[in-house]
C-alpha cells in the first residue's frame, strides 16, 4: 500500500497495510533521535513490512535495554524502533513514507517534555507521560 525509503535511497521498504493513525512522541529520547521536536510514528506489524533493499545498511542503537532504534548507516535517516519484548511490532517513522499519508493523529505522548516553542493545536488524546 505504501513504499518508504531513507534519504539516500539505500534502504527501501514496501508496507502492506493501511496506516490510519500516527502517534506523536515528545519524549527527550525521540527529540534527540529525530533531531526535532517529536517523532511521528505508525505502529505496524512486522509481517506487513517488506525490506526491498538495504538491510545491510541498517544500523542499530539500543536506547534502552529493551528498545532498539534502527537507522540507515549511510545517511542516518531514522527508520523504525522495535522492542525486544514485542517482536511482531515496529514503530515506523512516517517521514520515510514516499506516498501522501492520509492518517489522523491518534495521540500525543510525553507532552510534559514537548518543545517549549511547539504548540499542540490538534485535539487527539494527550498523555503527559507514556501511553498506558
What's the confidence (pLDDT) of residue 131?
58
pLDDT value for 132:
42
DSSP code of residue 88:
T
71: domain CATH number is 2.170.150.70
Set of cell numbers at residue 59: 544500523
| Order of strands, sheet of 49-53, starting from the edge strand that comes earlier in the sequence | 2-5, 12-15, 49-53
Q: How many domains does the chain have?
A: 1
Query: Using one digit for the tens of pLDDT, what is the confidence trace for 73-93?
Result: 999 999 999 999 999 999 999
Write out the residue range of the structural domain in which residue 116 sits.
Answer: 2-120
The reply to whether 107 falls in a domain is: yes
Q: Is residue 126 part of a domain?
A: no
Q: What is the pLDDT of residue 130?
A: 64
The pLDDT of residue 36:
94
pLDDT tens digit sequence for 114-129: 999 998 888 777 878 7
Helices (H), the chain: 28-34
Q: Looking at the domain assignment, is residue 77 inside a domain?
A: yes
Identify the CA nearest to 78 among candidates 86, 91, 69, 67.
Answer: 69
In the chain, which stretches have pLDDT less than 50?
A: 132
Which residues are 83's β-sheet partners?
67
Q: How much is the pLDDT for 22?
A: 96
Amino acid at each position: 500500500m505504501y513504499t518508504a525509503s531513507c534519504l539516500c535511497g539505500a534502504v527501501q521498504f514496501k508496507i502492506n497495510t493501511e496506516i490510519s493513525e500516527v502517534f506523536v512522541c515528545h519524549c527527550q529520547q525521540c527529540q534527540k533521535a529525530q533531531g526535532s521536536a517529536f517523532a511521528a510514528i505508525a505502529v505496524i506489524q512486522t509481517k506487513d513490512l517488506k525490506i526491498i533493499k538495504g538491510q545491510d545498511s541498517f544500523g542499530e542503537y539500543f536506547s534502552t535495554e529493551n528498545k532498539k532504534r534502527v537507522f540507515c548507516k549511510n545517511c542516518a535517516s531514522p527508520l523504525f524502533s522495535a522492542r525486544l519484548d514485542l517482536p511482531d511490532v515496529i514503530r515506523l517513522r512516517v517521514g520515510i513514507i514516499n506516498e501522501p499519508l492520509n492518517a489522523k493523529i491518534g495521540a500525543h505522548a510525553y507532552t510534559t517534555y514537548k518543545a517549549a516553542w511547539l504548540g499542540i493545536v490538534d485535539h487527539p488524546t494527550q498523555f503527559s507521560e507514556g501511553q498506558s
